[in-house]
Amino acid sequence: MWRGRCSERLAALTFDDGPDAQHTAQVLDILARERVTATFFLIGRRAVEAPEITRMIAREGHELGNHTWSHRSLWLCGPKETEREIIRGHDAIAEVAGCAPRFFRAPWGMTNLAVFPVIRRLATPCVFWSVQPEGQRAVEPECQVQRIRERIKPGAIVDLHDADGVPGAGARTARMLSDLIASLRSAGYRLAGLSDLL
Ligand SMILES: [Zn+2]
């Protein structure tokens, strides 16, 4: 899935690569203050390393997605390794958070044919995104807000990072998030979790 229903000005904020003790906590504070529900695609290994923050995400009413066990490129994995990455990530997040992830997102959006039977079995649809303000290269927070505002459309799935893949990504997201929410609201958007959007 690349975007949700387009019948109203609805968009979903999604956060990848966490949990991160510092930046995920900052993101959660902002979301709570702004009363926004979001979706977090967690790396299983990081969830195990940061159980408190993982549980906090779930407790605060946000939705969970599986972003594999160790964030390897599934393009480079054979079928067995693909299955292990997905199932181990799913199980780790479920055990730490106390509830199973409802969605799946492949690292860098790179899938292979072995992905789909596994996620079907887990009942976690594969979710991509329609707006990504920062890819493999760092983009300043103000520019990210502007890019999202320019590209947002009803049903948009916005891909953000609350932890580092690209160095400094988590800090940049935390810095721009309040402005982003204000900007999208002023454009008439309501922000929702993925299950609401899809
Ligand atoms: Zn990622």
Q: How far is CA 29 from CA 22, 36, 41, 68, 116, in A?
A: 11, 10, 18, 25, 35
Give residues whose Cβ lies within 5 Å of ion ligand 1: 16-17, 107
Residues known to be catalytic: 16, 161
Q: Are 62 and 37 in contact (CB under 8 A)?
A: yes
61-70 per-position pLDDT tens digit: 999 999 999 9
Q: 6 C-alpha to center of ligand 1: Å?
A: 26
Q: Cβ distance 44 to 93 under 8 Å? A: yes
CB 53 within 8 A of CB 198: no
Q: What is the pLDDT of residues 1-33, one digit of tens each?
A: 888 877 889 999 999 999 999 999 999 999 999
How many A from CA of 168 to the centre of ligand 1?
14
Q: What pLDDT was estimated at residue 5?
A: 77
pTM here is: 0.97
What separation in Å is there between the alpha carbon of 92 and the centre of ligand 1? 17
Residues in the chain with pLDDT values less than 50: none
- 155 CA to centre of ligand 1 in angstroms: 21
Tell me how far the alpha carbon of residue 137 lies from the centroid of ligand 1, in angstroms.
Answer: 13
